[in-house]
């Protein structure tokens, strides 16, 4: 039987006539915020995952749907299961009290950046949860708890970390990674782990500069699709 066709990529939102690409005049600050994602952010998360699949040359594996993300990502308190941090960028300062995801579990990270060149984002209208305040979703990180028997401590495993192309090489990726690491330290966890594609030399260098150890002797093992379903029929 032929495999079912994957869902189509996310549909672009209609471009508002009064929306312009996000720009930061040279010499003026850009403001960023890392906050907990909420179910209302699923359309942005879905688009980010698709852009990541394009970047990683893995669109043939992309099968995520907005309904699937909504039904699986927000069933537990933050940090107890799947957790998503969103990176937002704006030309106007953020305030902690204005966060759409106010939670006793996490206080948003706020930072001011001084950039040498303006940010040109022609897709800003597709990633704007708050168009009136020029807020644009620039990236995300999705992670969940795992466990180290050698350390006898829990940790975090980062499933995905992604920054959209216009916002790369500006320190936003290190902000996302640092937010997860800080949360791990706060909770007394032993480590944070993730994988990186072997051809992504820039990412490998970036992670090494952040202090991560690249474990060359380990390989990722995966059961999925028909190979996984076969175990349902296997005699054990």
Catalytic center residues: 207
- Give CA–CA dist 53/48, Å, rounded: 9
> Order of strands across the sheet with 109-114?
109-114, 29-36, 83-90, 136-148, 153-163, 192-193
SS3 of residue 170 by DSSP: coil
CB atoms within 10 A of CB 23: 15
CA angle 76, 82, 83 (to 5 degrees): 95
Pairing of strands 109-114, 83-90: unpaired
Distances from the Cα of 31 to the Cαs of 25, 86, 112, 133, in angstroms?
13, 14, 5, 12
Evaluated on CA atoms 3, 52, 146, 66, the torsion sign reads negative
Given the structure tokens 């059961």, which residue do they identify?
223
């Amino acid at each position: 039987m032929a495999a079912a066709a994957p869902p189509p990529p996310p549909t672009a939102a209609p471009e508002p006539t009064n929306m312009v690409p996000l720009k930061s005049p040279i010499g003026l600050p850009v403001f960023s915020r890392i906050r907990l994602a909420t179910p209302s952010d699923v359309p942005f998360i879905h688009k980010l995952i698709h852009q990541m699949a394009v970047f990683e040359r893995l669109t043939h594996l992309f099968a995520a749907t907005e309904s699937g993300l909504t039904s699986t990502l927000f069933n537990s308190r933050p940090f107890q299961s799947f957790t998503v941090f969103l990176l937002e960028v704006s030309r106007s300062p953020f305030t902690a009290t204005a966060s759409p995801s106010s939670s006793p579990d996490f206080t948003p990270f706020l930072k001011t950046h001084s950039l040498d060149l303006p940010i040109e984002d022609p897709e800003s209208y597709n990633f704007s949860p708050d168009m009136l305040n020029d807020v644009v979703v620039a990236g995300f990180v999705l992670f969940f708890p795992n466990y180290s028997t050698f350390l006898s401590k829990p940790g975090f495993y980062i499933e995905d970390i992604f920054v959209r192309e216009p916002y790369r090489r500006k320190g936003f990726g290190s902000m996302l990674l640092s937010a997860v690491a800080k949360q791990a330290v706060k909770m007394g966890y032993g480590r944070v782990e993730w994988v990186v594609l072997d051809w992504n030399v820039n990412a490998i260098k970036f992670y090494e500069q952040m202090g991560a150890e690249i474990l060359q002797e380990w390989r990722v093992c995966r059961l999925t699709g028909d190979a996984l379903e076969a175990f349902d029929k296997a005699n054990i």
